[in-house]
Structure 1
Amino acid sequence: MTSFDYLTQRQQCLREHKRFRNLVARELDGVHVIDPDGRRLLNFGANDYLGLGMEMRGNQDHYGELSIGNADLDLRVAGGSGASALLSGWTISHEQLSKQIAELEETEAAVLFPTGFAACSGAVSTLAEAGDLILSDELNHASLIDGCRLSRAECVVYPHRDWQKVDQVLQQRRREFSRVWIVTNTIFGMDGDIAPLDCLQEVAEQHDACVIADEAHGTGVLGTDGSGVCDALGVKSKIAIRIGTLSKAVGSQGGFVAAPRVIVDHLINHCRSLIYSTSLAPSAVSAALAGIGEIRTRPERRQRVQKLARQVRSELSVNVTSKLEASVPIIPVIVGTDPRVIEVSAQLAKSGFYIPAIRPPTVPEGTARLRISLSAAHEAEMIDELLVAIRRLL
């Protein structure tokens, strides 16, 4: 595994100068915060200028009487966190969630972000520095691409899933750079295909590089423990830095980075999308805790959606490169032209099915498609009706 001793040395310097920052788990109680040592302090560190968040957290009865349109206010009761994680926005629940994620991912630590986009762009732009090289898959998510652009590292975009090209570049240029980061989605969101993580990790080991894997579509869906593709391909213990989202299979909102403690501490002290963003709302944290709990204790959910994915891919003759890939619940149906895919999507809507039409620039020219996203909540009859409707139109 890549050594992060250089970060340990930097953090020691911060400690010596009293500039090292930790996340402190506090309890929010109206206008007060309660420190880990039990002190109840008046909170002058939040940005809750009108006191609405404080009231919602501390006076459920008052807000239960309000009516805003037809909205269900249950999720508003907890209010927002009121501040960034380094101020007063890191609560005991945030701490609990980060530990649950670290346990699922089997890493030393994890840290939460307000969105998956913030986690990806923030982690990549913070870790990759001037004098480094990033190798980025050409079909990586926009958040990873933005992270590459925001960093001061040189970035080489390699052909989709082409680990041999990564190896070739490093054979020719590795000595030019202090550090090398191989950045990839584990599952690509528009095609539902899987990165060759085992091959990429082998290349990384040969060239003293570090893989950063974004498990946005893998968390909760694949792996014997539900942690994602890294586990499914047997490289979970080797890929040190894994990014995930709480807004897909977990069923909440937010993102995370699971990594060695030194990496997490580096992000806490330097990652702008973490430091300067209000932390996750308590309601999102609670929902994520419930979602992680389901993933860890109810494997039948992911087994069901995997089974549905294999069925639909087989029925629609969607090509896959492996049995694992056949279990991914993102299924592209390539239509071709923009007008045609819009027409087909509209016809499906008339038949009672919402399947979005995905067009350039999200996907390459000439590959406009329907993107089918399956869920364990879909019943067998729903799948059968969907397949009949698609066959009728295509």
Structure 2
Amino acid sequence: MAKGWVKDLYGKRLKELLERGEYWEIKKLMGPTGPHAIVEGKEVIMFATNNYLNLANDQRLKQAAVEAIEKYGWGPGAVWAIAGFHEILSELEKKIAEFKRTEAGIFFPTGYATNVGTIPTLVETGDLILSDQLNHGSIIDGIRLSRAEKIVYNHCDVADLEDKLRKAHGKYNKILIITDGVFSMDGDIAPLKDISKLAEEYNAIVYVDDAHGEGVLGEGRGTPAHFGVDDKIDIHMGTFSKALGSSGGMVGSDREIIEYVRNTARSWLLSTGPSPGAIAANLKALEIVMSQEGKERVRRLHENANYFRKELQSIGFNTGKSETPMIPVIIGDTKKARELAKALFDDGIFVVPIVYPMVPRGTERTRNEVSAGHTREDLDKTLAAYEKWGKKLGII
């Protein structure tokens, strides 16, 4: 048991979180996740996962995982750097390079571990990181672990980025520009074509976290492919935990860079890897996304997202700058965002309220993540519930 004063201290802090409405009420899944799921014993239409291509419960991924466990066992035994890794990981890393259209690839146990491990290996004292204002928390933590100086540029503001590049030019050993490809709270897209042009002009390195772009944009290849700048991005970071329906993170780049990361990233060197089953499922997911079937799933995904976004707007909701299947309903009030999410859940629709500190105060919202597996009936039922509760709660 903790000392009494320690328990009291954190009990008080927990109470403050509850009073501010910033406590996460995490619900229990009671089966696989998909367009429909059983949550807390209730059947719901699922809008709270990043399972964009409906692969998380795909039979082929499950079968690949089972076969790998039968062949390689369940656990890796130790960190890869010490005990070695199963040959299937080499296959996955070759497929990552093919997917990212780079010379080489590396797999990390999680997307978070990818950013907090890779970013500090690329920069050091005397370097500068220019980071988008709305970059993901894992990027922010990776920057904090580095010894580089950091400057934040206004969200997707190319003019502000250029101004900061101009002022920094010649003052640092190297400059690293980091941006999400698709931003996880607003669903808008980084202007990678303009960013890559500026990077060439100022001889800066570009690092793109494409966790929410892979399987969504560029016929599934991601945000750099969407803009046709694959070859202009120095570091392609991504994750298997969103559209690819599995878990783990990845980086694609030149062979020398990948091997340097492998030998210096602490979150790779000091982390025991996942089960061989997860690695096999990731390999199968990439095969599907890179196939013609994958392109068709992407097409259905955008058809669903465009319909859902347009109808939400016609009802009177504010969907912000979303251009992707990540669609916020911006409410601007913590209490009403939570009330709306609860009312929708009671009606069989699972969405997540997103409040401060995840988003700035005044932009509280529900976050809706559309899937290729949602039917028009699913979308229409959800839209009807949004309209009903939006009016009852005085949001629209």
TM-score relative to the length of structure 2: 0.78
Alpha-carbon distance in 2 for matches of 1:124, 1:163: 22
Tell me which residue corresponds to 1:306: 302
Alpha-carbon distance in 1 for matches of 2:228, 2:69: 41
Q: What SS does the aligned partner of 1:336 have?
A: coil
1:66-92, CA deviations, whole angstroms, 9 ceiling, x for partnerless residues? xxxxxxx96976412122221224211
AA in 2 matched with 1:183: I
1:251-295, CA deviations, whole angstroms, 9 ceiling, x for partnerless residues? 111001101011101101111111111123201101111111110
Q: What SS does the aligned partner of 1:237 have?
A: helix
Match of 2:147 among 149, 152, 156: 152
Alpha-carbon distance in 2 for matches of 1:170, 1:123: 22
The 8 Å contact of residues 120 and 143 in structure 2, kept in 1 or not, is answered as: yes
AA in 1 matched with 2:300: R
4+ residue runs of structure 1 moved beyond 4 angstroms? Answer: 73-77, 318-321
1:301-347, CA deviations, whole angstroms, 9 ceiling, x for partnerless residues? 111111111111111125676xxx63x11000011111111100000
Q: Does 1:117 align with 2:115?
A: no
The 8 Å contact of residues 82 and 89 in structure 1, kept in 2 or not, is answered as: no
Q: Does 1:357 align with 2:353?
A: yes
Q: What SS does the aligned partner of 1:176 have?
A: coil
Q: Does 1:380 align with 2:376?
A: yes
Tell me which residue corresponds to 2:256: 262
TM-score relative to the length of structure 1: 0.78
Q: What SS does the aligned partner of 2:368 have?
A: strand
Q: Does 1:166 align with 2:161?
A: yes
Tell me which residue corresponds to 1:206: 201
**Could you tell me how far 1:120 is from its partner in structure 2?**
1.2
C-alpha distance 350-192 of structure 1, shift in aligned 2 (>3 A): same
**Could you tell me how far 1:248 is from its partner in structure 2?**
0.9
Higher RCO, 1 vs 2 (CA within 8 Å, ≥6 residues apart): 2
Q: What does 1:342-353 align with in structure 2 at a 5 Å threshold?
A: 342-353=338-349
Match of 1:245 among 239, 247, 268: 239
The 8 Å contact of residues 89 and 279 in structure 1, kept in 2 or not, is answered as: no
Match of 1:221 among 216, 223, 230: 216
Tell me which residue corresponds to 2:330: 334
The 8 Å contact of residues 216 and 243 in structure 1, kept in 2 or not, is answered as: yes
The 8 Å contact of residues 220 and 250 in structure 1, kept in 2 or not, is answered as: yes
1:29-56, CA deviations, whole angstroms, 9 ceiling, x for partnerless residues? xxxxxxxxxxxxxxxxxxxxxxxxxxxx
The 8 Å contact of residues 207 and 233 in structure 2, kept in 1 or not, is answered as: yes
Tell me which residue corresponds to 2:363: 367
State the number of aligned residues: 317
AA in 1 matched with 2:330: I
AA in 2 matched with 1:277: S
Q: What is the RMSD computed on CA atoms of the aligned residues?
A: 1.6
Q: What does 1:306-325 align with in structure 2 at a 5 Å threshold?
A: 306-317=302-313
Task: Give ranges in structure 1 of 5+ residues lacking alignment.
Answer: 1-72
Q: What SS does the aligned partner of 1:361 have?
A: coil
Q: What SS does the aligned partner of 2:218 have?
A: coil
The 8 Å contact of residues 320 and 329 in structure 2, kept in 1 or not, is answered as: no
Alpha-carbon distance in 2 for matches of 1:373, 1:352: 15
Tell me which residue corresponds to 1:191: 186
**Could you tell me how far 1:162 is from its partner in structure 2?**
1.1
Tell me which residue corresponds to 2:125: 130
Q: Does 1:296 align with 2:265?
A: no
Tell me which residue corresponds to 1:280: 274
Tell me which residue corresponds to 2:229: 235
Q: Does 1:177 align with 2:181?
A: no
C-alpha distance 338-320 of structure 1, shift in aligned 2 (>3 A): closer
Alpha-carbon distance in 1 for matches of 2:74, 2:86: 13
Tell me which residue corresponds to 2:394: none
Structure with higher Rg: it is 1
AA in 2 matched with 1:272: R
